[in-house]
């Protein structure tokens, strides 16, 4: 797992991982290399951990006579799904007067990724400016690049910072600016 994803994961878990279930929490702990004693003392946790092993999200390894669990590629994919659902863009108190325009031109073979990327932009609060162009008033490059990486479309998107739009009244009203 990429270091930047581990940092996001650690922050997510430290904030309580609101909205995720026990199995997802355990998967996060395995990915971070943290051993949780809750599994040994809690029947529900044991059952959830058994499910993680059964569905091959984690696997057992023995290193220097120490039992250890590591996350599999399938488990990493599941973690990224958890992280992508948690991506939000923090709105700033004061608008800097710049628009962030995300444009993309995805080949036909990326149809599912295109739809998923578009739905995530909508979920993040973007306004559809044109067919493959979405706009947002606040800094969002880091979050959009994370989403684009997740869907494997980073090379097909562009993020523009625009100082002036000819007709921005509708946009200002939409974003309450």
30-36: long-range pairs with CB below 8 Å, 24+: 30/58, 30/69, 30/70, 30/71, 30/75, 31/1, 31/6, 31/71, 31/75, 31/76, 31/79, 32/6
Residues of the chain above pLDDT 70, percent: 83
Residue spans per domain, the chain: 3-86, 99-174
Domain 99-174 has CATH 3.30.70.240: yes
Range ranked top by mean pLDDT from 33-47, 48-62, 72-86, 109-123: 109-123
Residue 111 clears pLDDT 70, i.e. is over it: yes
Residue 66 clears pLDDT 60, i.e. is over it: yes
Residue 167 clears pLDDT 60, i.e. is over it: yes
Give the pLDDT score at 103.
Answer: 95
Question: What's the fold here for domain 3-86?
Answer: Arc Repressor Mutant, subunit A (1.10.10)
Residue 120 clears pLDDT 60, i.e. is over it: yes
Give the pLDDT score at 74.
Answer: 87
Q: Please, what is the average pLDDT of the chain?
A: 80
Instruction: Report pTM.
Output: 0.69
Residue 14 clears pLDDT 60, i.e. is over it: no
Confidence of residue 157 (pLDDT cuts 50, 70, 90): very high
């Amino acid at each position: 797992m990429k270091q930047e994803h581990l940092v996001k994961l650690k922050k997510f878990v430290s904030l309580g991982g609101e909205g995720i279930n026990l199995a997802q929490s355990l998967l996060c702990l395995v990915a971070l290399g943290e051993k949780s004693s809750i599994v040994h003392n809690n029947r529900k946790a044991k059952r959830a951990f058994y499910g993680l092993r059964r569905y091959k999200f984690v696997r057992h390894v023995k290193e220097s006579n120490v039992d250890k669990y590591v996350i599999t590629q399938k488990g990493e994919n599941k973690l990224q799904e958890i992280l992508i659902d948690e991506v939000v863009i923090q709105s700033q108190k004061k608008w800097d007067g710049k628009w962030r325009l995300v444009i993309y031109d995805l080949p036909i073979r990326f149809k599912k990724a295109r739809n998923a990327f578009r739905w995530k932009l909508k979920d993040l609060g973007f306004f559809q400016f044109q067919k493959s162009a979405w706009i947002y008033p606040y800094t969002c490059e880091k979050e959009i690049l994370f989403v684009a990486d997740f869907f494997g479309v980073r090379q097909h998107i562009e993020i523009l910072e625009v100082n002036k739009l000819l007709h921005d009244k509708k946009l200002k009203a939409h974003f309450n600016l």
